[in-house]
Copies of this chain bind each other. A is one copy, B any other.
């Protein structure tokens, strides 16, 4: 069977094939950049219109009492099952960077007398910039380590480790349960960055006893450009969670206007300022696509898409260097080494096959299984095989 016939057959028998219709995506588009910006679920535009015209215009200030105020935890509870968390432990708001700051400083305060923060050297640099800010303000030192080496390096000096669940370059998934366990064994806490795994790779943060976690919602959760991030604070740490941006929205009595800050119950105290409702409810609508699918289903298709993509590349483009793991250790992206990566990605994009490029020579293809088809990855491989054509 030709790859083309195979792709068609795989798409025909794909149990998730119907989900693509829930997204506002040009049928001609092969969109392989959902790991940077997820595609818009159709429900988002409808919901935003309702939020502006019915809630904001119709109810004005009263809408705060009619669901807006509770939205950060309500939407958080919709994300919770996607990361393996019980309800009441996830709050939505602020950017990922701001949440990394809250989590790192809070973790350092939970583990006093230990002067060092271990930083995943392979993490998205954004996390490193924030870790530097946190370390400077709290007097910690940063030590940059590859996650796999952390168990050998962690010591009684380590307050907390910040690890990205998925290497944004290679797509390698780090072993969350065993790394968490090893770090705990040395008395260190762990903050996980789930940006590249939430909505793509199953995980069980409660079962793994993760201390704190952050994640973004504009990749595989399709919340929209710059959509609010989330912060996971498990029950065990909520009462002692002492964060550096404790703000009025997390106060036990936010409208009491008391001079002294007293944190609210549960995960609410992880809030800072007024929740950003338009973006929050756009995300809420975007999460509707998860109502009838599990992360496990998405993961199965994501791996199958990647396996098929690798076969297409091996067969059609032997020169392409597959940088991502070829097995289950791969997250939901395929990274390909390519000498003129920037130029070829610009040309692919013009042809309606959108992935992204990371300097100096990496093509990244996100495999968002809710809307990516087998034919899309074949198209990408075929384009590379014809380059420069």
Binding site for B on A (CB under 8 A): 24-26, 29, 31, 33, 36-37, 39-40, 44-45, 48-49, 52-53, 56-58, 60-64, 68, 94-98, 101, 105, 124-126, 128-130, 132-133, 136-138, 144, 216, 218, 224-229, 244-249, 251, 255-259, 261, 272-280, 282, 349, 354, 356, 358-359
Are A61 and B49 in contact (CB-based, < 8 A)? no
Are A57 and B37 in contact (CB-based, < 8 A)? no
Are B128 and A259 in contact (CB-based, < 8 A)? yes
List 20 A-B pairs, Cβ < 8 Å: A24-B57, A26-B58, A48-B48, A48-B278, A52-B224, A56-B225, A60-B354, A94-B94, A97-B247, A98-B245, A124-B248, A137-B137, A225-B276, A226-B273, A226-B274, A226-B275, A227-B278, A255-B359, A257-B359, A276-B279
Q: How far is the CB of A256 from chain B (nearest CB, A)?
A: 6
| A57 in complex: contacting residue of B39, B97, B216, B226, CB < 8 Å | B39
Say how many copies of this protein the assembly contains.
2
Measured in the bound complex, the distance between the Cα atoms of B259 and A79 in whole Å is 30
Q: Which residues on the B side are within 8 Å of A274 (C-beta)?
A: 95-97, 216, 218, 225-226
The 8 closest A-B pairs by CB, nearest first: A95-B273, A97-B273, A126-B248, A225-B277, A24-B57, A226-B276, A97-B247, A45-B52
Are A64 and B225 in contact (CB-based, < 8 A)? yes
Measured in the bound complex, the distance between the Cα atoms of B105 and A62 in whole Å is 35
Measured in the bound complex, the distance between the Cα atoms of B244 and A272 in whole Å is 16
Are A125 and B259 in contact (CB-based, < 8 A)? yes
Measured in the bound complex, the distance between the Cα atoms of B68 and A229 in whole Å is 18
Q: Which residues on the B side are within 8 Å of A251 (C-beta)?
A: 129
Are A247 and B40 in contact (CB-based, < 8 A)? no
Measured in the bound complex, the distance between the Cα atoms of B128 and A246 in whole Å is 10
Nearest residue in B to A248 (C-beta to C-beta)? Answer: B126
Nearest residue in B to A72 (C-beta to C-beta)? Answer: B226
A359 in contact with B256 given A57-B24, A273-B229, A277-B224 (CB within 8 Å): yes
Q: Which residues on the B side are within 8 Å of A101 (C-beta)?
A: 245
Q: Which residues on the B side are within 8 Å of A225 (C-beta)?
A: 56, 63-64, 68, 274-278
Are A60 and B33 in contact (CB-based, < 8 A)? yes
Q: How far is the CB of A364 from chain B (nearest CB, A)?
A: 11
Nearest residue in B to A251 (C-beta to C-beta)? Answer: B129
Are A45 and B39 in contact (CB-based, < 8 A)? no
Are A245 and B39 in contact (CB-based, < 8 A)? no
Measured in the bound complex, the distance between the Cα atoms of B227 and A62 in whole Å is 17
Q: How far is the CB of A249 from chain B (nearest CB, A)?
A: 8
Q: Which residues on the B side are within 8 Å of A229 (C-beta)?
A: 273
Are B273 and A276 in contact (CB-based, < 8 A)? no
